[in-house]
Amino acid sequence: MSLLDLLPTVLDLTGLPDPEILQGRSLTPLLLGEADWQPQPVFLDEFQVDPKTKEFRGRIEVIDGLWGASLLINQDPSTHTRWHRPAPLLLYDLQEDPFCLYSLHEERPKLVERYTRLLHSSMSA
C-alpha cells in the first residue's frame, strides 16, 4: 500500500469517476474484506529531460514487500556526482535496512535480474 492509493480509494468509495491519469489503486476491496485483493509492488519514479540530448534521465524504484530496488535510466554516472552508484540497480532489504543504506546487489544477483526486468517492463506499460 502507498499514499498513491488514497485518491483512488476515496474516489471509489464516493462513486466519483477516476481522472484520466491516476496512479495507485483503490483499497476498497481490502477495506470491505473481499478475498480477491492481492498486494502489489509500489512503483516510484523521478525523471527529467537532459537539456543536451533531450533524453529522459532519472530513476525508477519499486517497493515489493521485503525488497526495494532502484534502477537508473539513461544516466551517465561520469556526468554528475549525484548519480555515482556502484551498479545501475541497487537492491535493499527493507526490513533489515529501512533507510536503504546498504545495497545487496552483489549478494543477490537473481533478485537484481528479477527487479531489473520488472522495472524495465513497468516503464513500457
Q: Where are the domains positioned within the chain?
A: 1-39, 42-124
How does pLDDT run across 2-40, given as a tens digit for each residue? 788 889 999 999 999 988 888 788 888 888 888 777 778
Global pTM exceeds 0.85: no
DSSP-derived 3-state class of residue 58: strand
Sign of CA dihedral 71, 77, 80, 82: positive
Choosing among 3.30.1390, 3.30.1120, 1.10.238, 3.30.1760, the CATH entry for 42-124 is 3.30.1120
pLDDT of residue 78: 58
Give the C-alpha separation, 73 to 89, whole Å: 10
CA-nearest of 118, 66, 55 to 94 is: 66
